[in-house]
A and B are shown apart, each in its own frame.
Chain A
Amino acid sequence: MTKAVPARTTRVVTVGGVLRREEMDLVINPLDFKALQAADYAKRYNGGKLIAVSMGPDFKVKPLLSELYSHPIEGVDEAIVLSDRRMAGADTWATAYTLSLGVKKALDLNRGAVEEVLELVESGASGEKVLERARELYHANLLPNLVYTEKPGLPEGVVQRYAKGRATVEEVREALLKVRTELERFLIVAGLKTSDGETGSTGPQTAEALSDALGRKIPDITHVVDFEVDAESGTLVAVRKTGSYLQRLRSPLPCVITIMPDYRAGVTPVLRRKRAALYSYRGKVREVRVWNADDIGADPSKIGLAGSPTIVGPGIDIGGPPVQKFVGRTRVFTQRVEAFEFNGKTYGPFERFAKADDLPEELVRELEAKGLVKRFDLRDLLEEVFGGVLVAAKH
């Protein structure tokens, strides 16, 4: 799961507390790259496919997800963006709900492909016919190399052997059922939090939402520092931080994890490479899929602003840019100066170290000549900071 976040927080556009993502420069949330790295590691270890799922205005998010295909490290195979006007203004509840339905649809799509071939074989279709459909599905990235492949260096897929009479119906069925079982053993990886909302809630809430969508409880493990996942046995072993302790947990798949920023992906053992290759897909579907609320069967009352229990009240500025003084540049008063008149206007009173830069230049020169204003120096800085704040702290 990945999110497009504002590139610069100094140029955030909100209307009534709702981020107008469509009006801002967006980037992939920085911590999501850790999630992609972790997901990529899981894929290198087990095979399978890496799908990037995001929610946001498609014309903004699509280009960002497309870039992931050419990213040097992460082996993203497919990208899905859930985009719909009705999804705008979602809080974490509505986001989790939406994402869970996107995940479910992706799962259904993949499972559907496997089941279609299974039915074809079991209905006694000719080897040629099964082969043809398998080829199509392989090119749509929906069947792994184990079933059908055109990759050099890999053994022929079981359907290809079946078409040549070198594999039995039983062998085909066994392979397809295995693929289907492993599809159900998926792992969802999210970054620890996003740089815009910064809540870190969407990961665990997606697990909860997915529990609803799939009708069984899906665990989550947050703050994961390290993990190993094995599709063969369908288990995940993860190390997570809780308070002053590290917990090592074993969870069945599917599971949702959020990755700590200091996670570093390990090296894939050579022994796993063959398995990983067999269970991998053709990969790199260049086109980003866009699904709207109807595509994923979302209840309109549970998405976007309408489905969000929280409402962001008006933002309140706290301070904005501080009064700034630069050593050697800013001009400040050298002592307290009572209110005075200059060219018919009243100025002051001024405290020691008050900034004089905003006064008329002519006046500043005059004050400088009298020794009442000077350039702020390092001694002034230290005196102002440590003379005031900390002497008080000492007593």
Chain B
Amino acid sequence: MSSSQQSIEVRIEGYRDVWVYCEHEDGKLTRPTTEVIAGARKVADKVGMDVVGVLIGYNLGDLVREPIYYGADKVIYCDDPRLKDYQVLPYTTVLSDMVMQLKPWALLFVTSEIGKDLGPRVAYRTRTGLAADVIDLVVEDFVMNLPTGRYVYKDCIAQVRPDFATRIAKIFTPKHRPQISSVRPGNFTPLPRDESRRGEIVRWEPRFDEDDFQVEVLETVRVPKSEVKLEEAKVVISLGLGVLRDASGRPRNPREAYELAKQLADLIREKFGVETEIGASRALIYAELKELEGLITKDRQVGQTGKTIAPDVYIALGISGALQHRVGMQRSKKIIAVNVDPNAPIFQIAHYGYVGDLYEFLPKAIEILRSM
């Protein structure tokens, strides 16, 4: 027997609990934060650890209890006037100090502007790994076959994330702790809020360096909330540059395509009682067509630089399906692609294909659905 077949069990000792960095806005935890608490609960229960909510800010008040109501066992909070607004340097200092002193086993962030800034910095400073955009967390052993033996790292978190077009990858941080992830919204269901839940609440006293406050917040402005709810819609009908011409090459009024798509969306909403929404490709939005002014707006963009969605049905009308678009919609349950070009890349990932133009597809589809 060669020594390479020997199994060597490795356990990283001295680290406990699953921490969740809790984002809050206007005195409330954000919804994705409550989702991540549910995700943390899942792995913590598996390994018999606690879920700890970490809150940083100023005048937190009763907010410090909220993580417990949503399923955490414990809260550590840091309340300081200098932490009123999110700023990467002092927040990194506070959170890294907590991590280095209290040694959590895992630390989860929301995939958001803050989670994608603070998470990486804390991971770097505490010399550990970070898996971004995680969609699931599973506890499993990580096996590494080396010439010196078969190493089994016990009870690691497999941090599941999408990997290129049609694969998922499991990211492991076998030798370093905490295991840090940012979790994409929409993958865990928040636990019901329960005010009868109790848990320990601990205050953390921060220690800053002088150069933590180099950056000054000059102004904070609320972005007007968009009425477009692409992420929540069950059926999304998206338009691309195919609105410009029909199959014969004749120029068409894009407004007509929009009206037809809207008719179809309304019809589906009425008939099946589900939310529908109109989306668009980046190309169409950036074309800034006069006819679509105020209708096809930036908040409707689906794709890498727009929204990532996974509705039950996605209808791509006149969208060729560049990679940047596909990453934003390829997880849709049913994809219907309508395009005049049979070689358009969108057909590679579509469940249903219609080779033809949208000016022919839409009226026919509306007529058939009416009769159904």
Contact = CB atoms under 8 A, between A and B. Distances in A.
Q: Are A and B associated in one complex? A: yes
B369 A247 contact: no
A98 interface: no
Contacts of A379: 368
Interface string A64-78: 000000000000000
B234 A205 contact: no
A327 B354 contact: yes
Interface residues of B, number: 93
Interface string A297-341: 000000000001111111111111111111111000000000000
Contacts of A309: 123, 127-130, 173, 175-176
B223 A246 contact: yes
Interface string B94-135: 000000000000000000111011011101110111111100
A247 B220 contact: yes
B274 A195 contact: no
Interface string B335-370: 110000000000111111111100001001100110
Interface in B291-335: 298, 304-305, 312-313, 323-324, 327, 333-335
A202 B125 CA distance: 13
A316 B167 contact: yes
A96 interface: yes
B372 interface: yes
Given A9-B323, A324-B351, A386 B369 contact: yes
Chain A contact residues: helix, strand, loop or mixed: mixed
Interface in A265-315: 308-315
Nearest to A9: B164
B142 A313 contact: yes
Nearest to B298: A262
Interface string A237-261: 1001111111111111000000001
A205 B272 contact: no
Contact of B116 (A96, A200, A310): A200
Interface string A190-209: 00100110111111110111
A217 B211 contact: yes
B217 interface: yes
Contacts of B356: 327
A351 to B, nearest CB: 15
A316 to B, nearest CB: 5
Contacts of A319: 166
A30 interface: yes
Interface string A1-19: 0000000111010000100
Contacts of A326: 352-355
B44 interface: no
B124 A209 contact: yes
B322 to A, nearest CB: 10
A311 B168 CA distance: 14
Contacts of A221: 88, 215
A313 B158 contact: yes
A240 B113 contact: yes
B272 to A, nearest CB: 4
A242 B85 CA distance: 10
B132 A216 contact: no
B10 interface: no
B123 to A, nearest CB: 7
A305 to B, nearest CB: 12
A394 B112 CA distance: 32
A382 interface: yes
B287 interface: no
B148 interface: no
A309 B172 CA distance: 8
B129 A310 contact: yes
A324 B298 contact: no
Interface string B163-205: 1111111111111100000000000000000000000000000
B372 A386 contact: yes
B328 to A, nearest CB: 12
Contacts of A240: 113
B163 A315 contact: yes
B123 A93 contact: yes
A204 B117 contact: yes
B223 A96 contact: no
A91 B354 contact: no
B1 interface: no
B176 A311 contact: no
Contacts of A394: 272-274
B218 A248 contact: yes
Contacts of A209: 124
A219 interface: yes
A204 B88 contact: yes
Interface in A45-102: 91-93, 96
Instruction: Select the residue from A310, A316, A391 with max chain B CB neighbours within 10 A.
Output: A310
B234 A393 contact: yes
Contacts of A96: 124
A322 B142 contact: no
A271 to B, nearest CB: 23
Interface of A: 8-10, 12, 17, 30-31, 91-93, 96, 192, 195-196, 198-205, 207-209, 216-217, 219-223, 237, 240-252, 261-262, 308-329, 378-379, 381-383, 385-387, 389-391, 393-394
23 contacts: A17-B169, A93-B124, A93-B129, A201-B116, A208-B120, A241-B113, A242-B112, A245-B222, A246-B222, A247-B86, A309-B176, A311-B142, A312-B172, A315-B169, A326-B354, A326-B355, A329-B353, A378-B365, A381-B354, A382-B365, A386-B268, A386-B369, A393-B234
Q: Which 3 A-B pairs have the closest CB atoms?
A: A309-B129, A310-B129, A261-B305
Given A93-B128, A383-B372, A389-B313, 14 more contacts: A9-B323, A201-B116, A204-B124, A208-B124, A216-B211, A220-B117, A223-B113, A241-B113, A247-B220, A322-B335, A325-B353, A378-B361, A393-B312, A394-B274
